[in-house]
Structure 1
Amino acid sequence: MQVVESLLRPAGERVSRAELAQALNMALFLDVTDRVPMAAAYVADLQRDGQQLVFDHGALRTVAWPSGALPPGEAAITRVLRPLGFTMAATYPLPRLKMTGRAWRHADFPEDIAQFFVSELHPERFSGSFQGAVTRVLATSQDPLTPGDLALLEHLARDGDLPAVSAVALLPKLVGCFARQHALFEADDYQLLLTESAEMAWIATEGNAFNHATDRVADIESVVAAQRALDRPVKDTIETSATGRVRQTAFKAARVMREFLDRGQRVMLEVPGSFHEFIQRAPLDESGTLDLAFDAGNATGIFKMTAGAAKDADTTGEAAAC
C-alpha cells in the first residue's frame, strides 16, 4: 500500500494522529482482504508484480437508533474519527434509501490518508414492524471502547499525538469499533428487515465493518479489462460522475455464511458480504488537486453490490459509496 513519506519516519516516543489514522486504515483494509476473496486475489497480484495500491476510501453503515451500550448511529464511529484528525467534508442525503451519508476526510493529509464514508440509516422512516426488528437486533450491542480508551482518544484530540505505548495499545481497540457489536438474532427478524431494506439487513449481519474498501487507480478501464481477463466477477459497467472526474466500478460482493437463531436453534444462512471497489479520480483544476468528492450519479450500480436477493431499490441520484 502506498504511504506518504512523512508517515514513514522511524518510530519515536510519540505517535501522531495522522500516523495512527494511517495504521487504522491499513488494518481495516487488511480486514477486507481477509473477508473478500476477490480483494485478496487482486492484492496478491499487485504484490507479485511489485505494484502499490492507493487506498482511497472505506465505507461503512450505521443505524440512528438506540443500540444497547453502543452510541447510536454515526456517533459510534465519529468519536474515533475526530481525534484521529478526520473532519466532515460533505453530507449526502439518501432519501430513497432512508439514509444519510457523510464523507470524513483527514485534515493533515486529505489526498493521502483514505477517507471514510459513514452512512446512517433512519428506522423511523420505515414501518413499525421494521422498527421493532431493528430494536431487537441492536439491543444487545456492546461498546468495544472502555473508559480508558475514551480517555486516550480525548488526549489524542487535545494533543494531536500519543505516547507510542498508548497508541500501540489503543490501535486494536479502534479496529474493534469497525465490526458487528450485537449478538445473534432471529432469522425471522433478518427476513423482515430484508423485506424493507437490504441495507439494514446487511448491517444486521455485518455491523459496522467496512462495506467496501476502494483502490484509487490511474486507468480504471485497463484495471477492469485485466480483471475480466482473469475471469473475476467485475461489475458490468463503469459509473461516471456528472463532472466526468470520478469513475467507479467494483467486484461483485462476496457471499458469506452467517449464524442466526431459529426458535432457539442455531442455523447458518448465506448472505451478502463486503466487496472491493476501484475508483479513478481526475484533478479538480490545473493545480492538480484531486476531486475527492463522492458523486450522486454513480449510485445505483455501486449500491446494488451488497443488495443480495433483496428487491433492487431505485437509488438514482444518491451517493455511491454508502
Structure 2
Amino acid sequence: MIRLNECGAQALVRHAIGEEAAADIFATLSPMLPVDRREGAEIDRAEFAAAMNMLLFRDLLQRVPTGAAYVRDVTAGGRRVCFDHGAIRTVCLPNGGTGALPRGELAFRRILEPLGYEEAALYPLPRLRMTGRAYRHRDFPETIPQFFVSELHVDQFDGPFAAAAARVFGSTRDPLDAQAHALLARFAAGQTVDPATAAAALPVIVGAFDRHHDRPMMTDYELLKQSSGEAAWIATEGNAFNHATDRVADVAALAAQQKTLGRPMKERVEISANGQVRQTAFRADLVERRFRTEDGGDRIVTVPGSFYEFITRDRDPATGTLDLSFDSGNATGIFAMTKAA
C-alpha cells in the first residue's frame, strides 16, 4: 500500500523498489521538493517527476560502476548528491517517426511537458550533427533535475548511413501504454491523480528511458560508428540515461581528487562561454552488448556504456539566481566520454 502520510514522490519510489532500496536512494540524493511542502491525498506532476528522476538516477548507478563507487564515497562522508540533470540521446530519421516513436526528441517532450517541464533553451551541436534541448521544471527549476535531450539528424549524413540508421532504429517500439498516456494527459490538463494510478504508470514511464529497438546487425553498427560515435552509442543503449550529473561546489578540485584515486576522469574541465558553468565527467564504463551477424548468429562486443558527470554552476551576478544554462561547447566536449571509452 502507498502511504499518504509522507511525500507523494517518496511513496511512489517505495512502492516501485521496496523499503530498503528506497531508503538508500533517499539518503543518497538531496531533496527535490521542499521538506515543508503540503501533503495531499493525490499525486501532482512535481511529485511524479521527482519519483521518476530518483528511479532513473538509481538505474544509472546500476549500469555505471564508476559512478556508483563515487556515490558510495559521497554517502560514506555524510554528504548527499545534488542531482543536476540527466541526458538522453534520440534519433531523428529523415521522414516520419523513429519506428513507432515520435521522431527525435518529441518522444520525450510528450513525457516531460505534462510533468511540468518546459523547453528552456536550444543548443546546436554542429560538429556532432545533433541538436540539444534543455528541459527545465517550471515549479522547482533548481531542485528537480533538468533534462538535456539531444537528437541526431540522420539527414545530415550520407545514404549508406541513413539506410543503416533506418534498419536499426526503424524497429523501435513505443513503450507507453494507454494507462501511461492517460496519466500524462491528466497532468497536462493540470490535474492530480490518485496514488494507485500513479504507481501503476510510473514503471512504464521510467521504462521509456531504455532501448526499444531490435538488437542491431554488427555490420550496421560498424557503419554507423564510422561516421558517428553518438549513433553507434544509441544503437546499443537506446534512450537510456547517457549520463547523470552531480552539482558540486568546485568541479576542478573534485576532478583532481578523483584522478588521485585512479578513476577514469576526463582530461580537462569544460568551461562555458560566460564562465559560469564548468563541467567534467568520468569516462564511460564499458559494457558487453550482443549483436546479430549476417550468418544468422550473434556476437558479443564490448562497447561504451553510460557515465557519470559533474557540474559547477555559479550564481548569475545580474540576477542572483543559479545559472541553470548549458553550453554547446561544453556539451560537445562531454559527448566525447562515450567515444574515449
Tell whether the structures are fold-level matches, with TM greater than 0.5.
yes
1:277 to 309, 313, 323: 309
**Whole-angstrom CA distance in 1 between matches of 2:316 and 2:153:** 33
Task: Indicate the larger mover: 213-222 or 154-163.
Answer: 154-163
Contact 2:125–2:328 (8 Å) recurs in 1:
no
Please name the residue that 2:135 is paired with.
Answer: 104
1:199 paired with 2:227, answer no
Deviation for aligned residue 1:213:
0.6
Partner amino acid, structure 2, of 1:125: Q
1:290 to 288, 308, 322: 322
1:37 to 54, 61, 65: 65
Alpha carbons of structure 1 residues 16 and 7: separation in structure 2 relative to 1, 3 Å: farther
**Whole-angstrom CA distance in 2 between matches of 1:304 and 1:71:** 27
Contact 2:64–2:308 (8 Å) recurs in 1:
yes
Identity of aligned residues (%): 53
1:49 paired with 2:77, answer yes
Query: What TM-score do the two structures reach when normalised by structure 2?
Result: 0.87
Deviation for aligned residue 1:8:
7.1
Deviation for aligned residue 1:76:
1.1
Contact 1:54–1:216 (8 Å) recurs in 2:
yes
SS in 1 for 2:189: helix
Partner amino acid, structure 2, of 1:24: M
Deviation for aligned residue 1:146:
1.1
Deviation readout 1:59-94 (Å, 9 max, x if unpaired): 111011232222221111111001100000001112
Please name the residue that 1:64 is paired with.
Answer: 92
1:139 to 170, 185, 192: 170
Query: What TM-score do the two structures reach when normalised by structure 1?
Result: 0.92
1:223 paired with 2:223, answer no
Please name the residue that 1:2 is paired with.
Answer: 30
Please name the residue that 1:262 is paired with.
Answer: 293
**Whole-angstrom CA distance in 1 between matches of 2:36 and 2:167:** 45
Partner amino acid, structure 2, of 1:193: L
Deviation for aligned residue 1:301:
2.9
Contact 2:98–2:170 (8 Å) recurs in 1:
yes
**Whole-angstrom CA distance in 2 between matches of 1:116 and 1:10:** 26
SS in 1 for 2:34: helix
SS in 2 for 1:276: strand
Deviation readout 1:179-237 (Å, 9 max, x if unpaired): 00001121000000001111111111100011111000011122122212211111111
Contact 1:59–1:210 (8 Å) recurs in 2:
yes
**Whole-angstrom CA distance in 1 between matches of 2:242 and 2:308:** 9
Please name the residue that 1:189 is paired with.
Answer: 220
Deviation for aligned residue 1:38:
0.7
Contact 1:106–1:113 (8 Å) recurs in 2:
yes
Query: Which one has more relative contact order, counting CA pairs under 8 Å at least 6 apart?
Result: 1
1:18 to 46, 68, 89: 46
Structure 1 unaligned blocks of 5 or more: 310-322
Q: CA RMSD in A?
A: 1.6
**Whole-angstrom CA distance in 1 between matches of 2:32 and 2:98:** 37
Please name the residue that 1:74 is paired with.
Answer: 105
Please name the residue that 2:4 is paired with.
Answer: none
Contact 2:33–2:50 (8 Å) recurs in 1:
no
Deviation for aligned residue 1:6:
2.3
Contact 1:7–1:18 (8 Å) recurs in 2:
no
**Whole-angstrom CA distance in 2 between matches of 1:194 and 1:7:** 46
Alpha carbons of structure 1 residues 5 and 99: separation in structure 2 relative to 1, 3 Å: closer
Deviation for aligned residue 1:277:
0.5
Alpha carbons of structure 1 residues 17 and 52: separation in structure 2 relative to 1, 3 Å: same
**Whole-angstrom CA distance in 1 between matches of 2:287 and 2:221:** 15
Alpha carbons of structure 1 residues 259 and 237: separation in structure 2 relative to 1, 3 Å: same
Structure 1 consecutive aligned stretches of length 4 or more whose deviation exceeds 6 Å: none
